[in-house]
């Protein structure tokens, strides 16, 4: 049993599908077709602060996004020993099967992709809107701490495709992507404090996706209110467990990472928390966050959109990369406060600390390349994606003449009984 050893994340890998569309292009298209929406759409674009949106190729689904990010993680320089892999857990609200977890499909795809993934492991899926990945991370971390084998590891994948009714004001907060994390004892990147997480949960209908629906239903203003209330409650619970005053916890934290449903939501959430528990004028709060690289670390999310369960960990990657760029090796030992929100709802507030070997890990990332690996799409291609899901015959017809990139995980076919068959390009 390794309860006295630190547990945490040794590396992260971000995968984003290449198709993207500029939101101003989408907005002008929607205004031409539905002029009555103009005022609401322009206000929504201004309120969110979003600029672009990523969405999958026609041959991709949530399982392939998860597999691609995990393949990149397990073939990176700081990859764990695959033979010691014990857990693959996926946090998602975009399942592809009512019974079989995305993690099981990922295991099979990785094996077909040439990785020697052992069968002596546990695959699972955790669902709680955008917080499923955090619950999976904490669960796998706790299991590894309790294991009799100190060199075992786990992979946690936060993978989602955010979709809403179109046209609507929520449409501009769509997105897609996956973050895979290696979880180990004596982690190389960040250590987690599993003894003091703060929680808040309520049964509310701010956001949900009915059975059989491919799009989520959201009450925008109410969901924002629920986010703020849950963040404050979970943060206070976290402070109580740390036996530390809220203002002390905030002022002594070096980095803040929160769930990012849209760019300005994250800024408002942290500003409100600081205003309530630390105080100060608006410009003082802005300076406090700017000194910690909060805005620079958050900015790339404007070009991606909401990736649901992965949004907080995508923000963590960008925040760590920004701080490493600014501080170099002095990033070691810096404290991180992570807040993960899941509508419906739950909030987890978790403390982390940057590990001694983090600079070597972060130096291997190339997030600029991840962001640049994109292609601008037409309205027609975007609206073709909105027609998903397709029946097996239509899907086969649509991808028949598409050239799948070499090494790309993709949905090859859908069997007559509905089973999804995946391949590696």
| Host domain of residue 62 | 7-424
Count: domains in the chain: 1
Average pLDDT of the residues of the chain: 96
The band of 255, judged by pLDDT with boundaries at 50, 70 and 90, is very high
Answer whether residue 222 is part of any domain.
yes
Answer whether residue 354 is part of any domain.
yes
Query: Judging by beta carbons within 10 Å of its beta carbon (0-12, 13-18, 19+), is residue 295 exposed, middle or buried?
Result: middle
- Each residue of 368-410: pLDDT tens digit? 999 999 999 999 999 999 998 999 999 999 999 999 999 999 9
At residue 278, does pLDDT exceed 60? yes
Q: Give the pLDDT of residue 18.
A: 98
pLDDT (average), residues 81-98: 97
CATH of the domain at 80: 3.40.47.10
Answer whether residue 321 is part of any domain.
yes
Answer whether residue 349 is part of any domain.
yes
- Each residue of 138-183: pLDDT tens digit? 999 999 999 989 899 999 999 999 999 999 999 999 999 999 999 9
Coil, helix or strand at residue 55: coil
Answer whether residue 53 is part of any domain.
yes
At residue 1, does pLDDT exceed 90? no
Taking the C-alpha atoms of residue 66 and residue 212, their distance in angstroms, rounded to an integer, is 22
Q: Please count the residues of the chain.
A: 425
At residue 249, does pLDDT exceed 90? yes
Taking the C-alpha atoms of residue 91 and residue 73, their distance in angstroms, rounded to an integer, is 16
Answer whether residue 1 is part of any domain.
no
If phi over 0 gives left and psi between -120 and 50 gives alpha, with beta otherwise, what is residue 182?
A: beta
Q: Give the pLDDT of residue 4.
A: 72
Answer whether residue 50 is part of any domain.
yes
At residue 3, does pLDDT exceed 90? no
Counting Cα atoms < 13 Å in the Cβ hemisphere of 270 gives 29
- Each residue of 49-84: pLDDT tens digit? 999 999 999 999 999 999 999 999 999 999 999 999
Answer whether residue 2 is part of any domain.
no
């Amino acid at each position: 049993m390794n309860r006295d050893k630190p547990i945490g994340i040794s590396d992260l890998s971000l995968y984003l599908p290449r198709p993207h569309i500029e939101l101003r292009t989408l907005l002008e298209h929607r205004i031409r077709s539905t002029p009555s929406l103009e005022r609401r759409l322009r206000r929504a674009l201004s309120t969110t602060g979003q600029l672009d949106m990523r969405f999958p190729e026609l041959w991709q689904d949530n399982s392939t996004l998860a597999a691609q990010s995990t393949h990149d993680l397990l073939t990176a320089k700081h990859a764990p020993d695959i033979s010691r892999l014990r857990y693959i857990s996926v946090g998602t609200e975009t399942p592809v099967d009512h019974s079989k977890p995305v993690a099981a499909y990922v295991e099979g795809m990785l094996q077909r992709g040439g990785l020697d993934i052992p069968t002596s492991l546990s695959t699972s899926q955790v669902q709680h809107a955008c917080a499923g990945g955090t619950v999976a991370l904490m669960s796998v971390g706790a299991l590894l701490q309790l294991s009799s084998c100190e060199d075992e590891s786990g992979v946690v994948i936060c993978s989602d495709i955010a979709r809403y009714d179109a046209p609507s004001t929520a449409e501009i907060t769509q997105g897609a992507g996956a973050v895979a994390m290696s979880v180990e004892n004596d982690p190389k990147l960040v250590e987690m404090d599993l003894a003091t997480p703060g929680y808040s949960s309520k049964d509310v209908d701010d956001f949900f996706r009915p059975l059989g629906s491919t799009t989520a239903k959201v009450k925008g203003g109410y969901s924002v209110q629920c986010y703020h209330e849950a963040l404050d409650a979970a943060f206070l619970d976290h402070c109580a467990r740390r036996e530390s005053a809220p203002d002390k916890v905030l002022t002594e934290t070096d980095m803040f990472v929160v769930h990012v449903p849209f760019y300005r939501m994250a800024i408002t959430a942290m500003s409100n928390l600081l205003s309530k528990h630390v105080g100060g004028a608006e410009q003082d709060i802005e300076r406090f966050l700017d000194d910690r690289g909060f805005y620079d670390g958050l900015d790339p999310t404007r070009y991606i959109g909401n990736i649901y369960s992965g949004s907080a960990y995508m923000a963590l990657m960008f925040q760590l990369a920004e701080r490493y760029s600014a501080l170099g090796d002095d990033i070691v030992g810096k404290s991180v406060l992570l807040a993960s929100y899941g509508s419906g709802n739950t909030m987890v507030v978790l403390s982390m600390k940057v590990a001694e070997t983090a600079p070597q890990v972060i130096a291997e990332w190339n997030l600029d390349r991840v962001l640049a690996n994109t292609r601008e799409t037409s309205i027609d291609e975007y609206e073709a994606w909105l027609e998903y899901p397709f029946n097996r015959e239509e899907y086969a017809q649509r991808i028949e003449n598409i050239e799948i990139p070499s090494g790309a995980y993709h949905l090859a076919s859908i069997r007559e009984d509905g089973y999804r068959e995946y391949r590696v390009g």
